[in-house]
Every structure is written in C-alpha cells, then in structure tokens.
Amino acid sequence: MIPFRNSLPYDIQMNDVYATECPFCGQAHVRLPLKPGEVAELRGGSRKRAVVFPCCHERLQLVDADADYLLADRPLDRK
C-alpha cells in the first residue's frame, strides 16, 4: 500500500497524460512525457517508469498508478 502522500493526480486527454499540478514548482496542468499505454503498464505495480517534468526538470520515479493517481516512490509534499 503506497501512502497517499506519494500520489499525483493525473488526467488523460487525447493521447497525452497531464499532471493536475506539478508537485515541485506548482505549475498547473503539466503534460508529462508519458503515454496512456505506459500508465496502463504502471497499474498494478509490475512496471516502473521515471518521468522528468518539463516545467522544472524534476525527476520522479513512478511505481504504480490507478484510475486517478500516479504513485511515486517518495512523498510529494505540496507547498
């Protein structure tokens, strides 16, 4: 069970994955270098995927996903 602090809300629009808000710099609606098919592979935690946020170049290791959240390997403490 991954703690809620590690979760990042996301949306899929067309063929792109957007973070609702960047946990590092606060930018809203950030398009992630991630495809919906890769989110599907994350679900269940069998695959891991690193993403670099285009807004501030912070790197995040994703370890799981569900229908609403991407789950990171560390807490995302929002300001």
Closer to Zn ion at the Cβ: 2 or 55? 55
Positive or negative torsion for Cα 52, 55, 57, 58: negative
Closer to Zn ion at the Cβ: 18 or 24? 24
Q: 45 with 6: CB under 8 angstroms?
A: no
Contact call for residue 53 and Zn ion (CB under 5 A) = yes
Burial category of 57 from C-beta neighbours within 10 Å (exposed 0-12, middle 13-18, buried 19 and up)? exposed
Question: Taking contact as CB under 5 A, which single stretch among the options 8-16, 24-32, 40-48, 61-69 is the one that binds Zn ion?
Answer: 24-32
Applying CB under 5 A, which residues contact Zn ion?
22, 24-25, 27, 53, 55-56
